[in-house]
């Protein structure tokens, strides 16, 4: 009985970790990591680094743009609010 319960708990932990990974983007900005909620469960752009990329090229990624990476870039000072709005206007 205890062995079965232990396996069940381990599987529950593994599934919870998998769900967490599938439902979040892990964005590396400089030396820090930010977590951005995904709009749907997917492995697409789960890990993403902004190093060496312009704000325009980052915002060019549909999945990230739709999930709100622009707000994150504004918060981190990589772009201004006006730049964010201008970039979003190009995709509307």
Predicted confidence (pLDDT) at residue 28 exceeds the cutoff of 80: yes
Which pLDDT score, from 0 to 100, does residue 39 have? 95
Structure tokens at 49: 């680094």
pTM: 0.85
pLDDT band at 20 (very low <50, low <70, confident <90, very high): very high
Query: Closest Cα partner for 78 from 57, 54, 62, 60?
Result: 54
Contacts of 15 (CB under 8 A, 6+ apart): none
Predicted confidence (pLDDT) at residue 26 exceeds the cutoff of 90: yes
pLDDT band at 38 (very low <50, low <70, confident <90, very high): very high
Domain count, the chain: 1
Which segments within 17-92 are labelled E, that is strand? 24-29, 32-37, 47-49
What range does the domain containing 67 cover? 2-90
């Amino acid at each position: 009985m205890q062995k079965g319960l232990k396996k069940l708990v381990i599987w529950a932990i593994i599934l919870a970790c998998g769900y967490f990974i599938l439902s979040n983007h892990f964005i590396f900005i400089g030396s820090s990591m930010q977590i951005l909620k995904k709009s749907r469960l997917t492995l697409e752009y789960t890990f993403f680094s902004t190093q060496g990329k312009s704000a325009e090229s980052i915002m060019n990624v549909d999945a990230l743009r739709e999930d709100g990476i622009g707000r994150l870039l504004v918060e981190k000072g990589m772009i201004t609010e006006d730049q964010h709005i201008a970039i979003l206007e190009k995709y509307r």
